């Protein structure tokens, strides 16, 4: 019986196209059942056209269904890929423009920070609905989550649906390793590595070729390149001894050191507000692809299969063993980070499922930063689960970048303003003002 793959938020057309290109490039998956869901009927129509065009380009013949009814989409699913963005571009603008008036700099705003907290709070109600529907309609299905804030979303799902099979998937570790290998001119396929931490702030703990540690080659490359030293994660690596697995723009938001100082922003060439332009580019790309579909029946595909969701599906269906980095709830996997919150660890895939690997202790300096990262993650999740708006403010108060920049009064005022601006995208109990 062919597996059913459901994409929730399929109107994120470029990502849907990339995922389907990878999935349908596997001969064993070329006739699967694909169900597309989105609440925007025009975007759903575009996603359906993309699916057919991608299938033709891949020479595949999947069964394709599209619906705005989420329960209908999930009925009988084997794999559910979540790529929703609640509030879309307009909510992203609010998450950047309002904090900027307080003097708070952000770059991406989707992980922790004030932007990540409010992105999580407006995503949680939809996640809870997806989890509830899956428990009723496809309780054995795998939920493969791409939606940010990853650590918050995976942690929240553990609270509201602890039996649901959830993997949080992000390509940051893969592309970090590809980039590192390019820096020292070593083929990626020749290396082995071991990475762990939290999503967007994991650490390259081991990086070798044929048993040779490759970090000394990176050290020499950095020593001879002054411009390379003007990047946040290179700066962090030089001070901490382990390379972080997300871009410099992302990494700058998770620590208190860089974004509050104009001279550091200049020194490290940090692109403040970067995600606003990325979001605008995504809108333009949607329009471009929609126009392209009016003139063609096929779309070119990249069959490199670098995204993790297609690899998860292929391994679980065929038994091919792979190791990926996945986000799962910590249950003794990283022993110097708290249990019950999401961590990112090497995970074995095979016919029997996904098996997170025990890492043990992280280096103490890495664990200390991860614990700071997990403070706003845990409090934002508890704010939603406990319906406690005071914990929203607490999450912002312990966030490294926010706390380094604003006073506590400013943080509370900012939370009040963002709460009012997002309105009914937030859970009703969290819209209440909190008196001091």
Instruction: Write out the catalytic residue numbers.
Output: 171
Per-residue DSSP letter, 147: P
Please report, for residues 69, 130, 245, 314, the alpha-carbon distance to residue 133 in angstroms, rounded to integers and kept in the order given.
Answer: 11, 5, 34, 24
**Angle at alpha carbon of residue 318, lines to 316 and 319, rounded to 5°:** 65
Do residues 408 and 398 touch, judged by C-beta distance below 8 A?
A: no
Counting every residue, how long is the chain? 436
Please name every residue paired with 144 in a beta bridge, in sequence order, or none if there are none.
81, 167
SS3 261: coil
Extended beta strands in 9-88, E state: 33-37, 63-67, 79-82
- Ligand-binding site membership of 148 (annotated): yes
Letter string b/e over residues 233-262, b meaning 16 or more CB atoms within 10 A of that residue's CB:
bbbbbeebebbbbbbbbbbbbbbebbbbee
Do residues 177 and 170 touch, judged by C-beta distance below 8 A?
A: no
Helix axis angle for 41-58 and 274-293, nearest 10°, is 70
- Ligand-binding site membership of 170 (annotated): yes
- Ligand-binding site membership of 199 (annotated): no
Cα(305)–Cα(217) distance, integer angstroms: 28
CA nearest to 353, candidates 156, 159, 142, 161: 142
CA nearest to 32, candidates 49, 15, 54, 47: 54
Please report, for residues 203, 252, 278, 316, 364, the alpha-carbon distance to residue 268 in angstroms, rounded to integers and kept in the order given.
Answer: 20, 10, 20, 42, 25
Do residues 326 and 335 touch, judged by C-beta distance below 8 A?
A: no
Binding-site sequence positions for substrate: 148
Binding-site sequence positions for Mn(2+): 170, 200
Binding-site sequence positions: 148, 170, 200
């Amino acid at each position: 019986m062919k597996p059913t793959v459901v994409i929730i938020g399929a109107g994120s057309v470029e990502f849907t196209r990339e995922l389907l290109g990878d999935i349908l490039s596997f001969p064993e998956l070329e006739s699967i059942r694909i169900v597309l869901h989105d609440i925007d009927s025009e975007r759903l129509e575009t996603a359906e056209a993309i699916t057919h065009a991608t299938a033709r380009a891949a020479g595949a013949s999947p069964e394709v269904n599209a619906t705005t009814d989420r329960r209908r989409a999930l009925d009988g699913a084997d794999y559910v890929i979540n790529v929703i963005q609640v509030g879309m571009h307009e909510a992203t603008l609010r998450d950047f423009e309002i904090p900027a008036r307080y003097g708070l700099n952000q770059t991406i705003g989707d992980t922790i920070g004030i932007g990540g907290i409010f992105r999580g709070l407006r995503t949680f109600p939809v996640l809870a609905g997806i989890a509830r529907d899956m428990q009723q309609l496809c309780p054995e299905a795998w939920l493969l989550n791409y939606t940010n804030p990853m650590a918050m979303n995976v942690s929240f799902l553990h609270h509201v649906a602890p039996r649901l099979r959830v993997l949080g998937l992000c390509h940051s570790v893969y592309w970090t390793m590809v980039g590192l290998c390019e820096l020292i001119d070593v083929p990626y396929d020749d290396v082995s590595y071991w990475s762990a931490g939290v999503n967007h702030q994991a650490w390259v703990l081991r990086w070798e070729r044929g048993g040779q540690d490759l970090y000394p080659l990176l050290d020499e490359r950095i020593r001879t390149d002054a411009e390379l030293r003007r990047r946040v994660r290179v700066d962090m690596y030089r001070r901490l001894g382990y390379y972080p697995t997300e871009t410099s723009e992302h990494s700058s938001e998770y620590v208190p050191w860089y974004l509050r100082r104009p001279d550091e922003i200049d020194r490290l060439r940090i692109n403040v507000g970067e995600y606003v332009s990325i979001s605008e580019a995504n809108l333009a790309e949607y329009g471009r692809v929609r126009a392209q579909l009016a003139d063609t029946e096929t779309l070119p595909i990249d069959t490199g299969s670098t995204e993790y969701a297609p690899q998860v599906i292929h391994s679980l269906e065929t038994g091919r063993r792979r190791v990926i980095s996945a986000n799962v709830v910590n249950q003794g996997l990283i022993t110097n980070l708290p249990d019950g919150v999401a961590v990112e660890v090497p995970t074995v895939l095979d016919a029997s499922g996904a098996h997170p690997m025990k890492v043990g202790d992280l280096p103490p300096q890495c664990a200390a930063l991860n614990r700071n990262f997990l403070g706003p993650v845990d409090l934002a999740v508890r704010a939603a689960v406990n319906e406690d708006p005071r914990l929203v403010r607490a999450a912002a108060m312990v966030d490294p970048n926010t706390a380094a920049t604003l006073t506590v009064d400013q943080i509370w005022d900012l939370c009040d303003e963002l709460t009012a601006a997002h309105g009914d995208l937030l859970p009703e109990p969290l819209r209440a003002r909190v008196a001091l």
